């Protein structure tokens, strides 16, 4: 059983600073996400959106130099990436990795079993996992043929993105971080991926979407929209902020931010 | 018998004792004697004098030991390997009758010992030959296994050499699958000095699997010679689990238009081990295709040498040759010398080669960890995926499953090159 989130946010990020080598990328990010919410993070190229998502997922390339992230009452940044995953954090990669020779079935089952063991549950039988996978394949409308192949190997850009959503559906995260999962999707795929996210949405979990475009937000209505600029969240608002950005670009925010 | 003064007295004494104890037909006695004479003249190979074939592998650990011949019964019965549902072939060859004629006609023809001390030594100790023979025109599938299982010699203090010999004769349009395995007891540093000759006649199709699963402390030198006639097809997969020193000298001659060969290999070496693969393909006739794909997994301070030689002769137009050698390094101390070489004398050909060596990619590892797999599980999954490309070339399902788990079991993830 997962803890009920009695008024505490599912994720609370405070003053987060992170760097890669000598390069400081995140310069004090503050973000609160409650269970049941969908947040969108927008911002120009290179502003640190992927870095934020990857730091939360535990990518070893980054060093956190200050700040904290509390997830479900735990000090998230102190945990190995696999422990975060088992506790329900999921990152859909901006650039999913090809795994030649790794069968999707085996890969996903290992992830599901690792999570179950973490929660003191038994591994799934092959049969039960088969059933689970088939159900999720139908749910996210992915070509079953893709699941028989090696993970992401030779997949098109859009197929890789769909496959991230399949993984999300199978692993049933409490906190899903989707890093530009909408980029490179055709209109049908965008609808399917958005449907997938909406179907998985519940009072107990939350989604953070990193995106450049309004179009996915037409399908998945966010509770909050944030603008990340030079490693900081400089403005937050409702869904209307995304429309405004689409219309006006980032310069006005950049100017406004520089007066603060 | 008069001989030049010998430098290898123990081998000489055993060679003579073998000749006395197991006299063969006259041709066999002559062949054995010729093998000895040649070995005595050239001895073991050295890296000196620009010997490219042995450039990175020192055979001193073998040369300095006086290995004895164990005088055991033909050694291919038993062994720990499952039978994969294949019929076993005995190494107790019958040198009489029709089979005897075929042996006499072919034995030693492909595995020349003129320049090869190991093949010469093997020939000097010819007694047992595992013969696999499919007559001309019999297209019915034949599947057999040859298990050269070393057993302990009579004296526990002594170190022994064995000289397994295999002769595979696939007649016209034959359809043959052969599994050749080498196993031995753990512990003693015994020496296996194997020679295999494979004749693939016109239109024949041969699938050949070679599994080296010897003691981690053993020495193994294997010479395989394949001759392919017109429109024949030869697919091989060689698997090697690490030994102290292993050499896989595998040469194929594409000697008729339309011949095709696919040579695959997978090797794993751990601390203190060394493997040397020398794979040569001779495009001697036009319109032949060759594929070479070897993969290595290296742990500890082990070392792998890979030499891929493709020769395309002047008349061999429309040759199509591709070779790759990929190595996965599990430790900072492991080392690969990969040296593909292409000698092309024809002008209308397609040839390519590539070699890589690298550690598990950090980004890939993070992808797996972000799905809940810990470092060890993620590494194991990636290593077996790397190996699987070669394991998947194995057609018989029982053998494929066996190899899958054999490699998984043996590849203990001791050193993790990339971490947090
Ligand atoms: N591992 C790394 N090593 C060095 N520099 C990095 C690394 N990761 C990110 N950076 C740099 O940090 C900055 C922010 O990168 P990040 O990928 O977070 O941007 P982004 O907001 O996701 O951009 P985009 O919209 O193009 O995806 C960029 O200048 C990038 O080059
Ligand atoms: Mg990005």
Which of A196, A152, A199, A202 is CA-nearest to residue A175? Answer: A202
Q: Identify the top-confidence range among A256-260, B94-98, B390-394.
A: B390-394
Per-residue pLDDT at B124: 97
pLDDT band at B236 (very low <50, low <70, confident <90, very high): very high
Per-residue pLDDT at B52: 85
Per-residue pLDDT at A256: 81
Arithmetic mean of pLDDT, B8-30? 93
State in Å, rounded, how far the first CA of chain B is from the last one.
Answer: 69
Arithmetic mean of pLDDT, B325-349? 93
Per-residue pLDDT of A151-162, as tens digits, reads: 999 999 989 999
Per-residue pLDDT of A124-179, as tens digits, reads: 999 999 999 999 999 888 899 999 999 999 999 989 999 999 999 999 999 999 99
Exposed, middle or buried: residue A240 (CB in 10 Å: 0-12, 13-18, 19+)?
A: exposed
Per-residue pLDDT at B77: 54
Using CA coordinates, name the residue in chain A closest to B389.
A101
Closest atom of ligand 1 relative to the A48 alpha carbon: 18
Interface residue B226 vs chain A (CB under 8 A): no
pLDDT band at B83 (very low <50, low <70, confident <90, very high): confident
Instruction: Go through A164-184 and write b for each residue having 16 or more CB atoms within 10 A of its CB, e for each that does not.
Output: bbbbbbbbbbbbbbbbbbbbe
Q: How, if at all, do strands B219-228 and B245-254 pair?
A: parallel
Return phi, psi of residue A240, to 5°. Answer: -65, -25
Query: Which of A41, A49, A212 has the most ligand 1 atoms within 8 A of CB, as the residue to mutate?
Result: A49
Per-residue pLDDT of B344-359, as tens digits, reads: 999 999 999 999 999 9
Per-residue pLDDT at B1: 44
Query: How far does residue A236's CA lie from ligand 1's centre (Å)?
Result: 21
Per-residue pLDDT at B2: 46
Exposed, middle or buried: residue B92 (CB in 10 Å: 0-12, 13-18, 19+)?
A: middle
List residues bridging with A208 in a β-sheet. Answer: A39, A177
Arithmetic mean of pLDDT, B276-297? 97
pLDDT band at B85 (very low <50, low <70, confident <90, very high): confident
Residue A112, both tokens: 């599901």
Cα torsion angle, B11, B16, B22, B25, sign? positive
Per-residue pLDDT of B88-146, as tens digits, reads: 888 888 888 888 999 999 999 999 999 999 999 999 999 999 999 999 998 899 999 99
Please give the C-alpha separations between residue A248 and each of A72, A213, B88, B222, B346, in angstroms, as whole numbers. 36, 13, 78, 72, 64
- Which has the higher per-residue pLDDT, B182 or A197? B182
Per-residue pLDDT at B238: 98
Is the model's pLDDT at A254 over the cut of 90? Answer: no
Return phi, psi of residue A227, to 5°. Answer: -110, 120
CA distance B112 to B130: 18
The residue whose C-alpha atom lies closest to atom 18 belonging to ligand 1 is: A48
**Under a CB-based contact definition with an 8 Å cutoff, are residues B91 and B163 in contact?**
no
Residues 6+ apart with CB under 8 A from A53: A91, A177, A179, A208, A210
The residue whose C-alpha atom lies closest to atom 31 belonging to ligand 1 is: A46
What is the percent of chain B where pLDDT is above 90?
77
Is the model's pLDDT at A2 over the cut of 60? Answer: no
Per-residue pLDDT at B151: 81
The size of chain B, in residues, is: 420
Contact B363 A97 (CB under 8 A): yes
Exposed, middle or buried: residue A1 (CB in 10 Å: 0-12, 13-18, 19+)?
A: exposed
Chain B nearest C-alpha distance from A224 (Å): 26
Please give the C-alpha separations between residue B194 and each of B122, B223, B229, in angstroms, as whole numbers. 7, 6, 24
Chain A nearest C-alpha distance from B176 (Å): 28
Please give the C-alpha separations between residue A6 and each of A204, B44, B166, in angstroms, as whole numbers. 11, 79, 75
Interface residue A142 vs chain B (CB under 8 A): no
Q: Could you give the domains of chain A?
A: 11-97+157-162+172-259 (3.40.50.300)
Arithmetic mean of pLDDT, A92-102? 95
CA distance B336 to B254: 28
State in Å, rounded, how far the first CA of chain A is from the last one.
Answer: 44
pLDDT band at A19 (very low <50, low <70, confident <90, very high): very high
Using CA coordinates, name the residue in chain A closest to B390.
A101
């Amino acid at each position: 059983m997962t803890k009920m989130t009695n008024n505490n946010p599912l994720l609370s990020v405070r003053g987060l600073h992170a760097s890669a080598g000598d390069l400081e990328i995140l310069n004090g990010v503050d973000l609160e996400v409650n269970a049941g919410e969908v947040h969108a993070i927008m911002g120009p190229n290179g502003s640190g959106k992927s870095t934020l998502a990857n730091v939360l997922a535990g990518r070893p390339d980054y060093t956190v130099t200050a700040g904290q992230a509390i997830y479900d009452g735990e000090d998230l940044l102190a945990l190995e990436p696999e422990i975060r995953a088992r506790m329900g954090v999921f990152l859909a990669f901006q650039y999913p990795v090809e795994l030649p020779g790794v069968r999707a079935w085996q890969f996903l089952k290992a992830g599901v079993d690792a999570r179950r063991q973490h929660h003191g549950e038994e591994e799934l039988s092959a049969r039960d996992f088969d059933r689970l996978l088939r159900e999720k394949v139908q749910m996210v409308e992915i070509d079953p043929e893709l699941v028989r192949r090696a993970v992401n190997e030779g997949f098109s850009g859009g197929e890789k993105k769909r496959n991230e959503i399949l993984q999300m559906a199978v692993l049933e995260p409490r906190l899903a971080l989707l890093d530009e999962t909408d980029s490179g999707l055709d209109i049908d795929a965008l609808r399917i991926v958005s449907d997938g996210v909406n179907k998985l949405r519940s009072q107990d979990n939350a989604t953070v979407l990193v995106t450049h475009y309004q179009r996915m937000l037409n399908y998945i209505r966010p509770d909050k929209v944030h603008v990340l600029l030079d490693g900081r969240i400089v403005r937050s608002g409702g869904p209307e902020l995304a429309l405004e950005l689409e219309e006006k670009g980032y310069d006005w925010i950049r100017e406004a931010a520089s007066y603060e | 018998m008069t001989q030049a003064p010998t430098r290898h007295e123990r081998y000489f004494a055993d060679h003579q004792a073998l000749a006395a104890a197991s006299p063969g037909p006259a041709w066999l006695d002559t062949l054995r004697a010729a093998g000895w004479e040649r070995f005595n003249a050239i001895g073991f190979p050295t890296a000196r004098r620009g010997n490219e074939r042995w450039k990175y592998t020192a055979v001193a650990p073998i040369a300095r030991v006086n290995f004895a011949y164990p005088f055991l019964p033909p050694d291919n019965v038993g062994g720990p390997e499952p039978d994969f549902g294949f019929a076993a072939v005995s190494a107790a060859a019958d040198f009489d009758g029709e089979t005897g004629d075929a042996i006499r006609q072919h034995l030693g023809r492909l595995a020349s010992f003129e320049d090869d001390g190991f093949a010469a030594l093997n020939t000097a100790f010819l007694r047992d030959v595992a013969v696999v023979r499919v007559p001309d025109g019999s297209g019915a599938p034949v599947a057999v296994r040859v298990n050269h299982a070393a057993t302990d010699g009579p004296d526990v203090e002594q170190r022994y050499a064995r000289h397994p010999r295999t002769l595979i004769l696939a007649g016209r349009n034959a359809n043959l699958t052969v599994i050749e395995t080498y196993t031995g007891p753990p512990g003693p540093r015994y020496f296996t000095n194997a020679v295999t000759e494979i004749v693939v006649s016109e239109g024949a199709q041969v699938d050949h699997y070679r599994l080296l699963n010897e003691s981690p402390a053993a020495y193994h030198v294997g010479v395989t010679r394949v001759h392919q006639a017109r429109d024949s097809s030869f697919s091989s997969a060689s698997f090697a689990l690490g030994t102290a020193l292993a050499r896989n000298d595998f040469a194929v001659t594409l000697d008729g238009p339309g011949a095709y060969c696919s040579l695959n290999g997978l090797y794993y070496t751990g601390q203190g081990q060394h493997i040397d693969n020398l794979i040569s393909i001779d495009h001697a006739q036009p319109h032949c295709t060759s594929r070479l794909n070897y993969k290595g997994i290296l742990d500890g301070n082990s070392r792998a040498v890979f030499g891929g030689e493709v020769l395309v002769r002047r008349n061999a137009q429309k040759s199509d040759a591709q070779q790759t050698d990929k190595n996965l390094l599990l430790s900072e101390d492991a080392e690969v010398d990969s040296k593909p070489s292409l000698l092309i004398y024809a002008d209308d050909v397609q040839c390519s080669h590539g070699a890589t060596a690298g550690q598990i990619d950090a980004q890939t590892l993070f992808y797996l960890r972000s799905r809940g797999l810990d470092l060890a599980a993620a590494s194991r999954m990636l290593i077996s995926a790397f190996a699987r490309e070669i394991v998947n070339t194995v057609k018989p399902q029982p053998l494929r499953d066996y190899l899958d788990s054999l490699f998984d079991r043996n590849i203990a993830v001791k050193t993790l090159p990339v971490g947090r």
